[in-house]
Structure 1
Amino acid sequence: MSVKLSSKMYFGLIVLAVVVALGAVRYISALKPTMQMSQTVEVKAMQVMKQDITTNYDFVGQVKSKNEIKVMSKVSGNIVEKMVNGGDTVYKGQPLFRIDNKQYRSAVNSARATLGKSQATLNNTQKDVERYRQLAAINGVAQQTLDAQIAQAEEDAAEVEANRANLQQAQEDEQDTLILSPVDGRIDLNDLSLGDYVTAGSTKLATLSSVDPLWVQFSMSENEYLDLVHLGNGTLPSGFKENLKLILSNGSEYPLLGHIEQIDKGITDAAGTITIKASFDNPQNILMPGMFAKIVAPGGLHQGALLIPQRAVTKLLNKTFVSVVTDDNKAESRIVTLGEKAGNLWIVKDGLTINDRIIVEGINKVKDGSALSVIMVQPDELQIPAKQ
């Protein structure tokens, strides 16, 4: 059985549908602010800082000995005594090795005997010269005989001097069987054992490294060098050259300051850097050749520098970005040009002003245009020093 609807019933249904639609629109409109609030990203931001600041330059360096000396024997022979162990600290004149000296002592005795014999011959010749001179005065011998005897005496005297030199050489050779340290320093490990034969001027017995003072060698980029030379009006600033700090690999600061002692003659072709050697006193032998350490050198004073924390910076494809909070609390990615580091801060050369707010926490959660719920923080809340 079919049911026929009257015109009044159709009209009522239409009115009901309109009322339901209006209610749905109002409900969605009421939800919109809540939905928008739930889409905002909570971040922490801080104002760009502006202040006078002194920067430092950091370089990775390696400790090197000022003198690396190969210890060799001046005489050949078998090692009969070792007075030191590898790694020992030794001092100038300290005995290191002894070579068998029996043959050299025999050479000394032989040279001494030869010298004594030649001296006796010379004495006799000189007495004959004196007798011939007296006889020649009374025409007892010919002048030619006297001249011949004088020449013989001169020849014998030369023989004495040659034998005296031979004796001195033999004595020096015998003395050189005891090998002494030429400098203060630390001796390296070596593989020589008692009984090993060494050849004069050829066999390396050990290597000595001087340890006080020492060099710390580091490299500086061409741009860093140019910046420093600009600050120093054509040369490295005196404050940079004379007040170098050294941070050891365990993070401790070396108690003594160093100074630059040598600068390479030019820039290396491959790395584009210049090599520098700084001298550090090492009276307590804390430093050892081969150690790595960080050189901290004072830079220049930057007046009114704009500063941001290092944590606010993102680097991508050779460009540097920060996320800025716009006036309507949205995220905006901005390219910036950075200068030098100052502790855990960057000096900003271009891209920001003192009025900008930058995101310091929550950077990875935002994109360009993201709505933000911003909590402003102060430098001390991020453990950033207010002044440098």
Structure 2
Amino acid sequence: MTRRKLLLPLLFTVLLASCSDSDQQTANAPAGGAPQKPPQAVSVVVMQKAERPITSILPGRAVAFQTTQIRPRVTGAIREISFKEGSEVKAGDILYQIEDNLYEATVAQARASLSKAEVSIPAAQANLTRYERLVNSGATQIEYENAKVTLLQAQADVAQAQAALQSAEIDLDLTKIRAPFDGVTTISNVSLGNIVTANQTDALSTLRKLDPIYIDLIDSSTNLLELRAAFASGRVTGDPRNAEIRLRLEDGKAYEPAGKLDMSEMAVSETTGTFQIRAVFPNPDNIVLPGMYVRATVTLGNENGYLIPQRAATRNARGELTAKFVGADNKVETRTFTVSTTSGNNWLVTDGIADGDRLIVDGFQWIADAAAVQPVEVTVNEQGFTVEKPKVDAPKP
């Protein structure tokens, strides 16, 4: 009973102290109720208008600069395979040797026929000369005409024999199947002793020229129309025919040599609505191989505008570009841009921004419009990462 009497006053004292502390906190709180949070810090980039490159990132495939299927033009057995499969060969190098015994014999026979035909010409010429002298003194006109025909026939026989010899020599030379240009060979589809026939359907091998190499790029017809309109209006300057083209390979690495435009298909696919652009690249080390998938960055021209990093932008339901900015009162506002083009890893816009505007590049997804923020100026490097600008100390007095 005594302990209960002692505890009750002690408990009453604690309750009074708690109420006093609560009243003090309530008195210190603002009139709105709960304590206000400090403005959230956000990374911003200060906008500055300048001439920027207009780029387009396009998918593409590598295609050999030249490709030919090696086929025989004469019939015979393969006597020799003179190249290493998958190796580089030079124009004129012998790839296959077809058995040539019969072709050498044909050449010898044609030479003999030519010699035989040539022998008859002097006699025919002498006979014609004799009848020319006697045509008015004993020889008839018919005999003279016959002598002339005999000479012409002998000359025709010689020409025919020469053509037969030339044809036989060509066939003999065709027993050596040569590379038509510098390139890289593929696997041979025949072995020693195999019989091949002239102009057969199956190729003996395939030869590809890889340096330089073609890159076939695909772009939409919509982009083509927009670009033409931009050049026509003078908004974009430059010559697209001199566009610089850079490649990124399948492993994500940049391919160092730059390429140039070779041609563009003057037709749009009826099924995909795209058209083809062909670029040519030096490929001295055969790094790019036919069939490889690549992505190309094509610099088409230049335009004055503001860069919005892709990481700082989104698109609304209508597909329009949107980005958030910090206003003069340090409150967030969203801006929409109906026209935008690509410039590297950025969007390039020309309207809706002024020099000195502050673009939010980090954390904007969780910030509502009109929210108060604390801007921290940063820069965005080529890799797309933000780097805080160093603070400049005030000059000492």
- TM-score, normalised to structure 1, is 0.75
Whole-angstrom CA distance in 2 between matches of 1:301 and 1:136: 89
Instruction: Indicate conservation of the 8 Å contact 2:217/2:278, yes or no.
Output: yes
* 1:75, distance to aligned residue in structure 2 (A): 1.2
User: For residue 246 of structure 1, what is the aligned residue in structure 2?
Assistant: 246
* Aligned-partner residue type, residue 275 of structure 1: Q
Q: 1:291-328, CA deviations, whole angstroms, 9 ceiling, x for partnerless residues?
A: 4444333344443x333332222335435443455677
Secondary structure of the residue aligned to 1:189 is coil
Residue 264 of structure 2 is matched in structure 1 by 263
CA offsets, 1:139-180, max 9 Å, x none?
2x6553444344233223322221221111111110111112
> 1:221-260: CA deviations, max 9, x gaps?
33433444345448996544225142341523423x4332
Cα distance, 1:59 vs. partner? Answer: 2.8
Quick check: 1:116 aligned with 2:115? yes
Alignment partner, residue 386 of structure 2: 382
Equivalences for residues 209-248 of structure 1 within 5 A: 209-233=208-232, 238-248=238-248
Residue 67 of structure 1 and its aligned partner are, at CA, apart by 2.9
Task: Indicate the SS of the match to 2:49.
Answer: strand
Q: Decide whether the 8 Å contact of 1:336 with 1:352 is kept in 2.
A: no
Query: What letter matches 2:361 in structure 1?
Result: V
Aligned to 1:73: 72
The residue type equivalent to 1:374 in the other structure is Q
Consecutive unaligned residues of structure 2, counting only runs of 5 or more, are 1-17, 390-397
Work out the CA distance in 2 between the residues paired with 1:132 and 1:327.
Answer: 118
Which secondary structure state, in structure 2, belongs to the residue aligned with residue 110 of structure 1?
Answer: helix
Alpha-carbon distance in structure 2 between the residues aligned to 1:234 and 1:87 = 51
Using the TM superposition, name which of 62-71 and 285-294 deviates more.
285-294
Residues of 2 paired with 1:126 and 1:327: CA distance? 110
**Residues 1-388 of structure 1 aligned to structure 2 (within 5 Å):** 27=25, 30=28, 35-37=34-36, 42-57=40-55, 58-129=57-128, 139=138, 142-203=140-201, 204-233=203-232, 238-249=238-249, 250-255=252-257, 257-283=258-284, 285-303=286-304, 305-315=305-315, 317=317, 318-325=319-326, 335-337=336-338, 339-349=340-350, 357-364=358-365, 366=366, 368=368, 374-379=374-379, 382-383=386-387
Give % identity: 25
Structure 1 residues 285-294 or 169-178, which shifts more? 285-294
Alignment partner of 2:192: what SS? coil
Q: Residues of 2 paired with 1:241 and 1:301: CA distance?
A: 14
User: What root-mean-square deviation, in Å, do the aligned CA atoms of Structure 1 and Structure 2 show?
Assistant: 4.0
Any conservation in 2 of the 1:48–1:306 contact (CA below 8 Å)? no
Cα distance in 1 between the residues matched to 2:104 and 2:81: 20
Give the match's secondary structure for 2:210.
coil
CA distance in 1, matches of 2:299, 2:216: 17
Instruction: Give the distance between the partners of 2:357 and 2:242, measured in 1 at CA.
Output: 39
Taking structure 1 as reference, are residues 357 and 224 closer, same or farther at Cα in structure 2, changes over 3 Å only? same
Structure 1 gap ranges (5+) = 1-19
Contact 1:43 1:361 in 2 (8 A): no
Q: CA deviation at 1:52?
A: 0.7
Distance (whole Å) between structure 1 residues aligned to residue 284 and residue 96 of structure 2: 26
Aligned residues: 364
- Amino acid paired to 1:289: P
2:376 partner letter = M
Answer whether contact 1:75 1:201 (CA < 8 A) is retained. Answer: yes
Conserved 8 A contact 1:228-1:237: no
Q: 1:373 to 1:130 in 2, by over 3 A?
A: closer
How far apart in 1 are the matches of 2:248 and 2:306? Answer: 31
How far is the alpha carbon of 1:136 from its aligned partner? Answer: 5.9
Query: For 1:192-228, what per-residue CA distance to the aligned partner results, in whole angstroms no more than 9, with x for missing partners?
Result: 2222222222342333333344333223333433444
Contact 2:245 2:260 in 1 (8 A): no
Mapped to 2, the partners of 1:234 and 1:359 lie a distance apart of 31
Q: Residues 29-60 of structure 1: CA distance to partner in whole angstroms, max 9, x if unpaired?
A: 6567895446x784423155122131241333
SS at match of 2:91: coil
CA distance in structure 1 between the partners assigned to 2:134 and 2:289 by the alignment: 78
1:242-298 CA distance string (max 9 Å, x none): 25142341523423x433231221333333333222333445555443344443333
